[in-house]
Chain A
């Protein structure tokens, strides 16, 4: 089962530009998390935002959560070539349950 959609599906930008990815989900959630996945590799956890939080920052990452719209956005500022990867949002409906992933956004940052 898939919780929702990310958009865009693919994003190509130049180094130094900002990248914004959006995630929508269908059900009420406990937490929303963002992960990065380099091609053919495992997941790297980026950031977790709780359902009662609206915004969170971590380094060059900024995540927002709008539970009324059931959506979240991930902003990567001053992007680097090393940010090239697929990005997924994942939600759990209740603490201790499985994470359900969105379809992902493939980000390509060219130097």
Chain B
């Protein structure tokens, strides 16, 4: 079964509104999660690294005020797309890192965002 749950699977929102996407690690604690964006027919682009209890680290070119990331607990990270516009329509996918002898990354199922 899934070890990382992402919700919602798809969402449609009106231009100018904000939408929140949740990424939960199931049955394990994840101090680090990662957020990616994927436009149609393109690859996954890393947006930011989310660390529990601290500010996220954003990749170059990603607006931190537009894509708010909160990692308030060891099992939940959220991505809020603020004042969404049609160009923000994309597939957003998170992953969670299990640290240990061999670090393992698990991906969520992704969330389709359509801004109309």
Contact residues, B62-114 vs A (CB, 8 A)? 91, 93, 95, 97, 99, 103, 105, 107-110, 112
Per-residue contact bits, chain B 11-28, to A (CB 8 Å; 1 contact, 0 not): 000000000000000000
* Inter-chain contact B110/A41, CB cutoff 8 Å: yes
Q: How far is the CA of A106 from the CA of B41 in the complex (A)?
A: 9
Q: How far is the CA of A104 from the CA of B40 in the complex (A)?
A: 12
Q: How far is the CA of A45 from the CA of B60 in the complex (A)?
A: 27
Supposing A1-B46, A99-B34, A102-B43 touch, asked if A40 and B109 sit within 8 A by C-beta, the answer is: no
* Inter-chain contact B45/A99, CB cutoff 8 Å: no
Count of chain B residues near A, Cβ 8 A: 24
Q: In the complex, which range does the number of interface residues on chain A fall in?
A: 10 to 19
Shortest distance from the beta carbon of A11 to any chain B beta carbon, whole Å: 15
* Inter-chain contact A99/B95, CB cutoff 8 Å: yes
User: Which residues on A sit within 8 Å (CB–CB) of B109?
Assistant: 41-42
* Inter-chain contact A98/B103, CB cutoff 8 Å: no
Contact of A88 among B44, B46, B112 (CB under 8 A): B44
* Inter-chain contact B46/A96, CB cutoff 8 Å: no
* Inter-chain contact A98/B46, CB cutoff 8 Å: yes
Q: How far is the CA of A100 from the CA of B46 in the complex (A)?
A: 7
Per-residue contact bits, chain A 38-60, to B (CB 8 Å; 1 contact, 0 not): 00111101000000000000000
A103 close to chain B: CB less than 8 A: yes
**What is A's interface to B at a CB cutoff of 8 Å?**
1-2, 40-43, 45, 88, 92, 95-96, 98-104, 106
- Give 9 closest A-B pairs by Cβ, nearest first: A42-B109, A101-B44, A42-B110, A98-B34, A95-B103, A43-B107, A101-B43, A96-B103, A103-B43
